Structure 1
Amino acid sequence: MTTLAALGDDLRRRMFEFIRQERRPVTREEVADDLGISRKLAAFHLDKLVAVGLLQAHYGSSTGIRKVGRRPKMYEPVAEAIAVTIPERRYGMLADVLTEAVMTEAGDESARDAALRVAYRRGESLGGAERERVRPGRLGAERGLSLAADMLEKFGYEPERAAPTLLRLRNCPFHPLAAKAPELVCAVNQAFLAGYLHGLGSDKNTAVLAPRPDACCVELRADGVGQDASESGTACGR
């Protein structure tokens, strides 16, 4: 069975998404409770995901599990990137931005500047459409981040509200391209998100480059939220 076939099953896909989002080893009991299925059925499908290389399993302890008898079997995603991406990558969107940048590059622009211009306008257009749809009125910082999170979820960023004024993005829709050309791809990503915030009318928030391991290189902050609050690292995300 291939990874694609394994995730073609809705139950297995939901299992994989749950474990990936937990970002820690989980037991079959936790998976079963989350999906509302029996532990035996959860174990069967989890072992199928291990067999195709999407999960790895080991025995260990887990918070909330009684430490008597046999240690529980723990499951977590493999460390390596997988061909089937969860959530869906957005290579097409990035390709469109770069193509339009090449076709519309002005004489006094560099290719990079053209890409940032196009990305900003794309984001601005999406933000404006969302503002027209929800008509939110005056946006405070927290409300702006809430609206942004809804859109970013659809685009595969996996937003996480780390604080009322800080929205972290646990997934990079453009990985592994971001790993190959981080300065360009992360700058395009930042321009796109900055444009979205402006189009949305969320001018009290800022899209900031703040790369961290295993996350997107950009996070959204209320104005005045500094680097210390974000606890940023130096590695580009996935």
Structure 2
Amino acid sequence: MVSRVNDAAIVALAALGDESRRRMFEFARRAGRPISRDDAAAEVGISRKLAAFHLERLVEAGLLRSHFEHVARLRKVGRAPKLYEPVGTDLRVSIPPRQPDLLAEILLDGALSDEPVSPLESARRAAFRRGERLGEQERARSRPGRLSAERALTLSEATLSGAGFEPVRPRPGCVRLRSCPFHPLAEAQPEAVCGFNHAFVSGLLSGLEANTVEAVLDPDGGECCVEITAAGTASDRGFEGSGQ
């Protein structure tokens, strides 16, 4: 299943499947100023009414935003024209889900830390803190109370899914990421990157106060290198391979 984080991007890409709409969006990005319906109609060579239809579809898809032109003097007739301009967000779709921005933020946090540890350990600590904040936010939102092992697995699975990961239940009592969120960098530096992933998931469980489960490294499992199991039921196998 495609991550929910991708949903908005997929809707936006679908809107750009129409050639006229795509040309209008490209024109709006090149213009360097808000464009009007008349501008868009002239650029694409269609009627103003049809241009208005396509522009509104782009607004609904989250690719453009609209506002009415501010006119200093009072207008005697009609209303101020509606203007359109691009939103300032990136458009990305990744199948399977990847988290390059999260990894970049972890590395930056680690690089800027003044802790007296190695750069690698500093990044691992940054990854733990990132995961812990996510867990704390979800616990404050859902107020789950004391978590049994099964409830902890369910909550961690839902939290990871909502954050753009792809958790699965490969067997009873276990949650695992179907694919490595930091692939393909995990192939280049598996021990380091899988360590960040493990630290992030461990931090998530800490923030959720999910003491009945633990994150363990299992790089030979054929999918991501980290899984969540009931505490004490599995030992960390260390690292001998890379995430997929």
* Fold in common (TM above 0.5): yes
* Conservation of the 8 A alpha-carbon contact between 1:214 and 1:236: no
Partner of 2:152: 144
Q: Distance in 2 between matches of 1:212 and 1:155?
A: 25
* Conservation of the 8 A alpha-carbon contact between 1:212 and 1:232: no
Partner of 2:165: 157
Find 1:116's aligned residue among 114, 117, 124.
124
**Which has the larger Rg?**
2
Q: Distance in 2 between matches of 1:93 and 1:87?
A: 15
Other structure's SS at 2:204 match: helix
Partner of 1:98: 107
Runs of 4+ aligned residues of structure 1 deviating over 4 Å after TM superposition are 230-234
Q: Distance in 2 between matches of 1:184 and 1:89?
A: 17
1:212-235 CA distances to partner (integer Å, 9 max, x unpaired)?
Answer: 3651110001112226xx999953
* 1:176-195 to 2 correspondences below 5 Å: 176-195=184-203
How far 1:163 sits from its partner (Å)? 3.2
Matched, 1:225 2:233: yes
Find 2:205's aligned residue among 176, 193, 197.
197
1:94-115 CA distances to partner (integer Å, 9 max, x unpaired)?
Answer: 0011011111132x21001101
* Conservation of the 8 A alpha-carbon contact between 2:194 and 2:243: no
Partner of 2:46: none
Q: Distance in 1 between matches of 2:239 and 2:111?
A: 32
Partner of 1:235: 241
How far 1:181 sits from its partner (Å)? 0.6
* C-alpha RMSD over aligned residues: 3.0
Partner of 1:88: 97
Q: Distance in 2 between matches of 1:202 and 1:175?
A: 27
Q: Cα gap change, 1:189/1:211 in structure 2, threshold over 3 Å: closer, same or farther?
A: same
How far 1:9 sits from its partner (Å)? 5.2
Q: For 1:94, give the aligned amino acid.
A: L
* 1:161-180 to 2 correspondences below 5 Å: 161-180=169-188
1:74-109 CA distances to partner (integer Å, 9 max, x unpaired)?
Answer: xxxxxxxxxx73033110110011011111132x21
Q: Distance in 2 between matches of 1:152 and 1:188?
A: 15
* Conservation of the 8 A alpha-carbon contact between 2:191 and 2:242: no
Matched, 1:127 2:135: yes
Other structure's SS at 1:219 match: strand
* Conservation of the 8 A alpha-carbon contact between 1:126 and 1:196: yes
* Conservation of the 8 A alpha-carbon contact between 1:157 and 1:216: no
Q: Which runs of 5+ in 2 are unaligned?
A: 1-9, 16-92
TM-score (norm 2): 0.58
Partner of 2:63: none
* Conservation of the 8 A alpha-carbon contact between 1:142 and 1:164: no
Q: For 1:184, give the aligned amino acid.
A: A
* Conservation of the 8 A alpha-carbon contact between 2:106 and 2:123: yes
How far 1:191 sits from its partner (Å)? 0.5
